[in-house]
Amino acid sequence: MARKERAASQTEGAAPDDGFDAKAYLQQGSWRDMDLGLDRTRALLAALGNPQDAYPIVHVAGTNGKGSTSAFIAGILQAAGYDTGLFTSPFILRFNERIQVNRVDISDGELDEVARAVRDAAASIDVHPTAFELITAVALEHFRRRGCDAVVLEVGLGGRLDATNVVVPAACAITSIAFDHMRILGDTLAQIAAEKAGIVKPGVPVVSYRQAPEAQAVIEDACRAAGSVLVFPRFGRIHVRQEGFSQVFSYDGIADVRLSLLGTYQPCNAVMAIEVARVLRTRGLAISDDAIKRGLETTRWPGRFELVAASPTTIVDGGHNEQGAAMLASSLRAYFPHRTVTFVAGMLKDKRYRDMVALVAPLAAKVYCVEPPEPERALPAADLAQEFVRAGVADTVACASIADGVHRARAEASPDDVVCCFGSLYSISEVMEALGSSRRDA
């Protein structure tokens, strides 16, 4: 499972002084303890009074782009006047950001209160839920307590047996499908797509990314069997122009949308959200084209080709699989066609890291290799450095820590160079902390 985070309690809603630590309770166990299935979550939510039935839900699955797409959908709903819950994973900077209402993190006081209710409900069922099942229940119960009008729910892993798949949504979205988590989801795109398409429910409309043929066929079959309308965005109708460090796009009657999110792939994620909004109109939600545009333009989402510092230009990107590395390389070529790129790279050993290295190596002038803060899964920095050397990047260094890699990369790059930190979402908080210390020391 993802790294753990403990934060000092905020003053609001002070918790009883009985030793209960909500974040420790909701992050218990190891990632190896994963046990997919729906029965425990159904029982837990039933004990809570089925909070998931209190609001319409958009359920979002996929390999890449599901976080950004979820954020775009939530932004559109909020711009349309709906109090909107958003549940995502993993967190980037702090645990609380996984559960948001109108893009505001759940407070520590609220988290403690809802986690206690979930703990009590869990004690009443026969089998104790997993950590992800507990946090899913906390999110759904929090959204009910806050009176949310709509909720965007991102799948944690796969879809078919993911804890979020107990809901009956108003709409489903399936973003780009690629090779990832193959030990659990399967080693072919068709097998992985079958897990993602497991979120399809009878009669519930689905918006899907244009997939590789073998994956798309699976999704089409699942929708046909469920009697679900299937919508594919018409990516050929996207018209994009870059204006400095922003991009402006038009799509099918919605013109000149200025995204704050960089990355050549983000207009496609935004168009996924547009099509979801149009589906939601058919389900009774009032969403104007103006709300769609405002929602997209005001969406912020950290760690996705994010410009975080200047002199040298520094990008942080959570690309953590082969497709993510390909999209990162495409974005670097588009935004910095004549700039030298220094990478700070850290990857997990259960990913296709050799393929990721091969995709970015042609752009690399120098690479500082680090280890993500995932002890059981991190690829040693020295092993990653050897892979970059094999890929033709002779100037490669294994660093003692993420902070060491970030500091050295920025110190040794010229002001006109680009520093790109990538390879794992789990590294981003330490990258940002290191960047903060660099700016304070400057």
CATH number at residue 129: 3.40.1190.10
Closest CA to 318 of 180, 214, 160, 112: 180
Whether 105 and 229 map to the same domain: the answer is yes
Burial 353-363 (b: 16+ CB within 10 A, else e): beebbbbbbeb
Where among 267, 298, 329 does a domain terminate? 298
Task: Tell me if 194 is assigned to some domain.
Answer: yes
Where among 298, 319, 339 does a domain terminate? 298
What ranges in 48-92 are assigned the alpha helix state H? Answer: 66-79
Integer Cα distance of 349 and 375 in angstroms:
11
Q: So what's the pLDDT on residue 31? A: 47
List the beta bridge partners of residue 342: 366, 419
Pairing of strands 306-309, 313-316: antiparallel
Whether 292 and 314 map to the same domain: the answer is no
Q: So what's the pLDDT on residue 290? A: 98
Write out the H or E segment, with its range, that includes residue 104: strand 104-105
Domain extent, residue 288, equals 22-298
CA 114 → CA 57, 119, 252, 348, distances in Å? Answer: 20, 9, 42, 33
Task: Tell me if 442 is assigned to some domain.
Answer: no
Whether 79 and 36 map to the same domain: the answer is yes
Contacts of 169 (CB under 8 A, 6+ apart): 56, 57, 58, 59, 153, 199, 201, 204
Task: Tell me if 32 is assigned to some domain.
Answer: yes
Whether 103 and 220 map to the same domain: the answer is yes
Token output for 268: 């496609």
Whether 148 and 237 map to the same domain: the answer is yes
* Number of domains present in the structure of the chain: 2
Helix axes 266-282, 289-297, angle to 10 degrees: 150
Closest CA to 48 of 181, 130, 113, 138: 138
CATH of the domain at 393: 3.90.190.20
Pairing of strands 313-316, 418-422: parallel
Whether 335 and 422 map to the same domain: the answer is yes
Closest CA to 132 of 93, 100, 94, 163: 163
Whether 263 and 313 map to the same domain: the answer is no
Whether 230 and 294 map to the same domain: the answer is yes
Per residue of the chain (442 residues), give pLDDT as tens. Answer: 345 564 443 334 555 667 899 999 998 865 445 677 899 999 999 999 999 999 999 999 999 999 999 999 999 999 999 999 999 998 888 999 999 999 999 999 999 999 999 999 999 999 999 999 999 999 999 999 999 999 999 999 999 999 999 999 999 999 999 887 778 888 899 999 999 999 999 999 999 999 999 999 999 999 999 999 999 999 999 999 988 778 999 999 999 999 999 999 999 999 999 999 999 999 999 999 999 999 999 999 988 899 999 999 999 998 888 989 999 999 999 999 988 899 999 999 988 999 999 999 999 999 999 999 988 899 999 999 999 999 999 999 999 999 999 999 999 999 999 999 999 988 999 999 999 865 434 4
Task: Tell me if 440 is assigned to some domain.
Answer: no
Task: Tell me if 27 is assigned to some domain.
Answer: yes
Where among 298, 314, 337 does a domain terminate? 298
Whether 261 and 131 map to the same domain: the answer is yes
Q: Can you state the percent helix, strand and coil of the chain, rounding each to 5?
A: 45, 15, 40
Q: So what's the pLDDT on residue 8? A: 40
pTM above 0.75, yes or no: yes
Supply φ then ψ for residue 40, to 5 degrees: -65, -45
Q: How many CB atoms lie within 10 A of CB 322?
A: 21
Task: Tell me if 402 is assigned to some domain.
Answer: yes
Whether 85 and 156 map to the same domain: the answer is yes
Cβ burial of 6 (10 Å; 0-12, 13-18, 19+) is: exposed
Task: Tell me if 284 is assigned to some domain.
Answer: yes
Pairing of strands 99-101, 84-87: antiparallel
Whether 63 and 172 map to the same domain: the answer is yes
Peptide bond into 213 cis (omega under 30): no
Token output for 280: 């939601």
Q: How many CB atoms lie within 10 A of CB 166?
A: 21
Contacts of 209 (CB under 8 A, 6+ apart): 62, 65, 174, 175, 176, 177, 232, 233, 268, 272
Whether 47 and 161 map to the same domain: the answer is yes
List the beta bridge partners of residue 60: 154, 173
Handedness of CA 397, 399, 405, 410 (dihedral sign): negative
Q: Are 23 and 111 in contact (CB under 8 A)?
A: yes
Q: So what's the pLDDT on residue 5? A: 60
Task: Tell me if 2 is assigned to some domain.
Answer: no
Closest CA to 235 of 196, 262, 216, 208: 208
Q: So what's the pLDDT on residue 439? A: 45
Cβ burial of 147 (10 Å; 0-12, 13-18, 19+) is: exposed
